Structure 1
C-alpha cells in the first residue's frame, strides 16, 4: 500500500501547496467515499433520512475508487472529507505531510470480509486452509492485512502454508473465484451472500469476528480543514451519529429499503441478508468515537503485515471531540 500511495501522495501534497482558499463552506461538504459499499449503510441512511439537512448541511457524495485516489483528492482539496480506512491517514503521516489527515468520526468497526469456501462443510477449522489455493486481497490494503492477521492468529502462515494469490484487482476477485480460481476467497458483502444463493461458495468464517474491533472505515479531513470548519464538522458528525443510531434500532429490511437507491443492481433479498450479516457481527459502529484500543489494534495488524514504518500516536491522528459532542447531544 505504501508503494501504491507514494506517488499519489507526493502529487497530492504538491497540489496542496499550490491550491489556495477554503475547500468548502460551512453549509456544503464534499465527501469522497473510497468505494460504494453497503458496509457504509449509516452514511446513506443519514443522507436519505434527511439528517444532514436537519443539521443545515448540503452534502455532495462522490465515489473515489481506491485509497490512493481518495487521499490524493483530499490532499489536493478535491473533496473536504474522505471516508476511507484509517490506515491511509497513517500512510500519509509516514510520508511526512505538513498538514496531517485527522480521523474524526468512525463509521465501521470491524473488517467487512468473509472467508468463502468453494466446498460446503459442516465443520470448518482454519487448519483446512493448509495446502489450499487462497484468493486474497491486494497487498497493503486493510482486507488483506486483516486476513493475514487472522490467519496468523490461527497458526496459519499466509505465505508458507497455502498458495496465496494477490495479483487480481479488487473488482475482479469475485468473478475470478466464480470462474474457478482458488479453493477459498476473501469477499465482502453482497458477493458472499450472492455466492451462497447461487451455490458458488459457502461462508465458513468472518474476518470481522476473528479480528475484533478496528477503525476499519472512518471519516477524516485535513487538520487545516478541521480548524477552519469546526461548526460544519460538528454538524456533519451529528448527522452521522443520527444515521448510526437509526441503523442500530431498525431491522435489516428497513435499512435495506432505505439504502436500496444506492444499490439498484442488488436484489432486495440479497441486500437485506447482507445488511443482516453485518448487523449481527456489529460491523456498523453505533457511535462515531474511535477509541484508543481500536487504534492500537489497527497498528498491530499493520505491523504484522510489515506495512507500519513507525507507530502513530493516537492523539496525533485522532480527534474524538466532535464524536463525543455528537453522542452527548450538546
Structure 2
C-alpha cells in the first residue's frame, strides 16, 4: 500500500498526454475525442481492439486515442492527472484511490475481462504438472498489490502453497521487464500474460503449465473507469463508449478465434497470426472475455476477497460506491 501512496502524491510531476484534434465522422459531423489509457497491450483485451478496428467507436461518434501506459500505477496516475479520460486497468486500483481519500473517486462503468489473464510458465517442459512442484522454486511474480500478483497468491494458497515461505518470490522487477527477466534466466516459474506466454512456448523459452484464470474464478480483472467528475460532465461520451464496447463484446462472442485474430492483428504486428488465433481461442475457451459490460456484485466481492487474502484490501467498499452499471445496462437495452 505504501507504493500506492507514493505515486498518488507524485501526480503533479506527470506531464499530461496531448490530445488529438477531432476528426470528422459521417456526414462531416466531428468526432468527439476520447483519450483512453490501457494498462498493457495484450490479446487479453481483444474486444477493445475489435471495437477500434471494426469502427464501433466511430459509429458512436467517438475518436478514441489509445495509449499504452504499462502498469497499474502508471495508468491510474495518468487518469488522475488528467492525461487520460478513460482508463482500462484492474478494478483494484479504484479501491486503492478511494481508500487514500479523494473528492473525485474513480468509477468503474464497464467490465472487459472476467477472469485472470495470466498463465504459469515453467522454464522447463513438464509432462505431468502439479502445483507441489513450485515448492522450493524461484517464482518471478508480478507487482505487489496488483491483480496479477494477488490472484497468483490466491491460487497458490488454494493449492496449499504459502508464496512467502514455500518459494523464493521475486516481486521487484518492473511490470514491462518481467518477460525479459525470465528470458535472461531469472526464476524457475513466471506469471505471464498473452501473447508473451505462448510466444515463449513457441520459442522454447518456457512452457505453459497452468492457467490462473481457470483457477481463480470470475473476477472483474480489468474494467473501464473514469473520474466521477468526468463522468458527470460527459455522460453522453460514457454512454456511447459503452455501447460500442458492448457491440464488440457481442461480436467477439459470436465469431471464431480465427476471425477475431484477423481483425486485431494490426495491434500485434510483431505476432504471428496463427499465434494470435491460438491465444484468442485459449481465452475464449476459459470464458475470459466478458460478453457484456456489467460488473456484478458477486464479481466485486470475489475481487475484494482476493485482495483481503493478499493483505492488500484497505477496507471493504460497497459495489455501488465505485461501480456504476447504469451505462452498461442502457447499452444492452439499446442493442
- TM-score w.r.t. the length of structure 2 is 0.91
Q: Is the 8 A contact 2:31 2:63 kept in 1?
A: no
In structure 2, runs of 5+ residues without a counterpart are 15-21, 23-29
Q: Is the 8 A contact 1:85 1:216 kept in 2?
A: yes
Deviation digits for residues 61-103 of structure 1 (CA, Å, limit 9, x no counterpart): 1122222222222222221111111011001001101111000
Q: How much does 1:3 deviate?
A: 2.5
Range with bigger deviation, 288-297 or 272-281? 272-281
Q: Is the 8 A contact 2:138 2:169 kept in 1?
A: yes
181 and 69 in structure 1: CA distance in 2 versus 1, 3 angstrom threshold:
closer
Partner residue of 1:256 out of 238, 247, 261: 261
Partner residue of 1:76 out of 74, 78, 81: 81
Q: How much does 1:305 deviate?
A: 1.1
The residue number in structure 2 matching 1:178 is: 183
The aligned runs of 1:238-277 (5 Å cut-off) are 238-277=243-282
12 and 97 in structure 1: CA distance in 2 versus 1, 3 angstrom threshold:
farther
Q: Is the 8 A contact 1:240 1:288 kept in 2?
A: yes
Deviation digits for residues 210-236 of structure 1 (CA, Å, limit 9, x no counterpart): 001111111001111111211211111
- TM-score w.r.t. the length of structure 1 is 0.92
Q: How much does 1:50 deviate?
A: 0.8
- Which consecutive aligned stretches of 4+ in structure 1 deviate over 6 angstroms post-superposition? none
87 and 13 in structure 1: CA distance in 2 versus 1, 3 angstrom threshold:
farther
The residue number in structure 2 matching 1:292 is: 297
Q: Is the 8 A contact 1:26 1:232 kept in 2?
A: no
Deviation digits for residues 1-49 of structure 1 (CA, Å, limit 9, x no counterpart): x32322332344899xxxxxxxx99922111111222211111110110
- Are 1:50 and 2:55 matched, yes or no? yes
Q: Is the 8 A contact 1:26 1:231 kept in 2?
A: no
Q: How much does 1:176 deviate?
A: 2.3
Q: Is the 8 A contact 2:70 2:176 kept in 1?
A: no
Q: Is the 8 A contact 1:101 1:317 kept in 2?
A: yes
Cα distance between partner residues in 2 of 1:132 and 1:7: 31
Partner residue of 2:215 out of 199, 210, 214: 210
Partner residue of 2:39 out of 18, 34, 41: 34
The residue number in structure 1 matching 2:331 is: 326
The residue number in structure 1 matching 2:231 is: 226
The residue number in structure 2 matching 1:4 is: 3
For residue 92 of structure 1, give the secondary structure of its aligned residue in structure 2. Answer: helix
Q: How much does 1:107 deviate?
A: 0.6
Cα distance between partner residues in 1 of 2:177 and 2:78: 24
Q: Is the 8 A contact 1:33 1:82 kept in 2?
A: yes
The residue number in structure 2 matching 1:61 is: 66
The residue number in structure 2 matching 1:151 is: 156
169 and 8 in structure 1: CA distance in 2 versus 1, 3 angstrom threshold:
closer
Range with bigger deviation, 64-73 or 310-319? 64-73
CA RMSD between the two structures: 1.9
Aligned length: 321
Q: Is the 8 A contact 1:151 1:157 kept in 2?
A: yes
135 and 253 in structure 1: CA distance in 2 versus 1, 3 angstrom threshold:
same
Range with bigger deviation, 118-127 or 250-259? 118-127
Cα distance between partner residues in 2 of 1:76 and 1:181: 35
Q: Is the 8 A contact 1:13 1:97 kept in 2?
A: no
